[in-house]
Structure 1
Amino acid sequence: MTDRTALILSDDFLRHETGDHPESPSRLIAIRQGLQQAGMLADRPVWEPQPASLELVTAIHRPEYVSMVERLALLGGGWLDADTVVCPVSYPVALLAAGAAVQAVDAVMAGQAPRVFAFVRPPGHHAEPGRGMGFCLFNNIAIAAWHALHAYRLQRVAILDWDVHHGNGTQAAFYDTDRVLFISLHQWPLYPGTGRASETGRGEGLGFTLNLPLLPGTGDARYLALFDETIEPRLLDYRPELLLVSAGYDAHWQDPLADMRVTEQGFAAMAARVRRWADTLCAGRLVLVLEGGYNLAALAASVVATLQALDEPNSIG
């Protein structure tokens, strides 16, 4: 087994055409170019994804919603809401995005790689059980977490969401269970309007949702303080068997859709901590799934910095 972080990449994700839209194929083109220029596509596994089964997708999403997305695509596409577009091939591409996240879980559980970063689109963390929204069709990371719990009989999976927007769909998927610890750092107030600190779970899930809303203008220092003082103790207490990350890069100071001040170095420092936690708690098992990030240069630079930190965490402060 290599110690390098494996990647899941595919030109098939470019087929989800969104037109004049922030969430466009150019995002993945910029990431691939950035990785190539940094020499980071050599000497590591780079895999093509496989689509998720309908059974897995409907474990998180209502069957009637999944069927509606399929029909809309077959009819030539359309809009789920003012932000979320479906093109004629969006349905199979969305299955591929979910499948990539599942495949990443399978790879780390089988020991094929200690860590996997799945570069997917459409993103997923806003997709709720009965509706897509916020550029998202199916909730890739939630589907992957469900798969981990049931295929491998895990009891504790942690999901850390550092996208600048709250992962309302992921929260909704696991709000009633203690088998998933969901942690989200996000700008507040901001779309989608969920993620208050008072949202902590329900029933058996009470206390297993940790929302950390942040004021506009928050930068590296506050993020890293929360990682060290709040998130790390919570993870040490929970002791997850697998760590998943919704890796969005729209908290970057150059991103047009938010107003935060995180730098590439900040994302690298967060990634280094996540790897150390995985090494300590989960036998290294770590999966990252791409979410947002809409300034192309900032997105590519932040992904490169993240991957460097995942490969060599001790080089990052």
Structure 2
Amino acid sequence: MSCIVFSHADCARHVTPPGHPERVERLTAVEQVLSGLGLTRRDCPVGAEEEVLRVHPKRYVERVRGAVPREGWVQLDGDTYLSPGSYDAAMRAVGGICAAVDAVVTGEAKTAFVAGRPPGHHAERETAMGFCLFGTVAIGAKRALDHHGLSRVAIVDFDVHHGNGTQDLLWDEGRCLFVSSHQMPLYPGTGRADERGAHGQMLNVPLRAGSGGKAMRDVYERVVFPLLKAWGPELLLISAGFDAHADDPLAGLEWQAEDYAWLTDHLCDFAGGRVVSTLEGGYDLDALAASVAAHVGVLKERG
């Protein structure tokens, strides 16, 4: 077995206005490093609407689809835009996470990475925000639970921004442990340690700006890894945002690529090594490329 990478050219059809940090060039940078890693590659299928409906109501899906412009952009909130190809791109990301979950749960692969966009972890039940349209990783978790019949899954979100959307979508889901480490204070302003979920199944780990990789490693070893061990997930999903890197323009946690390699390697110790990761943030192209190479390189080694 090895690591399967899921991607699709449609994800580059989500075009944001000039100067927007979540841009097509991010995917180009990711694809360049992935092409040199000798990985098994698969196209993301088009996601089924019923998969999205596991976490979002139909009226929200119809509202997003109906807002797609024929040309130019439509602004859904202060920093989230739709272009003519955005809905198709988002549905490829949904299809990618579902196909990745299927491959890992059925034993076709041990690990998988979804190189899709737009990202998803800020999308709440009926709110597009933070560059995100649909809650991709939450959809993947529900696929594992409801379609494959798993009883315990876990999500670890190491994006520098709190995964408020994933938290909102899975607040009442007692079968899914959600862990988010993130800089605080920072957008979107959520992610306090006392936000625990309806069943106490959520752990938020706020980190101070400038705290660096050492602080991250310490809190994961002291708090996160013991919780994951106690939870005993059958599948681990990762919201893989790389904007905690020292060179990222949107935040200041000061991580390095080797921190992502260390964290990924340790996360592969859980769930019998069955890990599905999906791309979230990361906005300095060189830092993004180096971090993805470190992250996926470990997924390949552990696959």
TM-score, normalized by the shorter chain, greater than 0.5 = yes
Shift of 1:101: 0.6
1:93-139 CA distance string (max 9 Å, x none): 11111111111000101111100000110000000010110000011
Q: Distance between the aligned counterparts of 1:291 and 1:144, measured in 2?
A: 14
Distance (Å, rounded) in 2 between the aligned partners of 1:209 and 1:135: 23
Q: Please give the alpha-carbon distance, in whole angstroms, between the structure 2 residues aligned to 1:130 and 1:258.
A: 26
Contact map agreement 2:243 2:251 (CA 8 A) in 1: yes
Aligned equivalent of 1:63: 58
1:247 partner letter: A
Q: Which moved more, 1:13-22 or 1:187-196?
A: 13-22
The whole-number CA distance in structure 1 between the counterparts of 2:59 and 2:10 is 25
Query: Identity over aligned residues, as a percent?
Result: 44
* Alpha-carbon shift at residue 50 of structure 1 (Å): 0.6
The 5 A counterparts of 1:233-252 are: 233-252=226-245
Alignment of 1:1-317 (within 5 A): 2=1, 4-20=2-18, 21-36=20-35, 39-40=36-37, 42=38, 44-74=39-69, 76=71, 77-202=73-198, 205=199, 207-277=200-270, 282-312=271-301
Q: Quote the Cα distance in structure 2 between the aligned partners of 1:179 and 1:33.
A: 37
Counterparts of 1:250 and 1:295, CA distance in 2: 8
| Residues 126-179 of structure 1: CA deviation (Å, up to 9, x unaligned) | 000101100000111011111110011111110000000000010011112320
* Greater alpha carbon shift after TM alignment, 89-98 vs 250-259: 89-98
- In the alignment, the residues of structure 2 paired with residue 201 and residue 80 of structure 1 have an alpha-carbon distance, to the nearest angstrom, of 27
Contact 2:160 2:182 in 1 (8 A): yes
Structure 2 Cα separation of the partners of residues 273 and 302 of structure 1: 16
Q: Which moved more, 1:48-57 or 1:69-78?
A: 69-78
SS at match of 2:23: coil
* 1:75, distance to aligned residue in structure 2 (A): 5.0
Rounded to whole Å, the distance in 2 between the matches of 1:66 and 1:57 is: 8
How far apart in 2 are the matches of 1:137 and 1:81? 11
User: How does the TM-score come out when normalised to structure 1?
Assistant: 0.92
Aligned residues: 300
Following TM superposition, by how much is the alpha carbon of 1:191 offset from its aligned partner in structure 2, in angstroms? 0.4
Between the aligned partners of 1:150 and 1:312, the Cα distance in structure 2 is 29
**How many Å apart are 1:195 and its aligned residue?**
0.3
Match of 2:182, SS state, is: strand
Q: Any stretches of 5+ residues in structure 1 without a counterpart?
A: none
Cα offsets for 1:44-73 (capped at 9, x unmatched): 310000121111111211211111111111
**What SS does the aligned partner of 2:222 have?**
helix
1:272 Cα deviation from its structure 2 partner? 0.6
Structure 1 residue 309 displacement after superposition:
2.1
Unaligned stretches of 5+ in structure 2? none
Determine helix, strand or coil for the equivalent of 2:177: strand
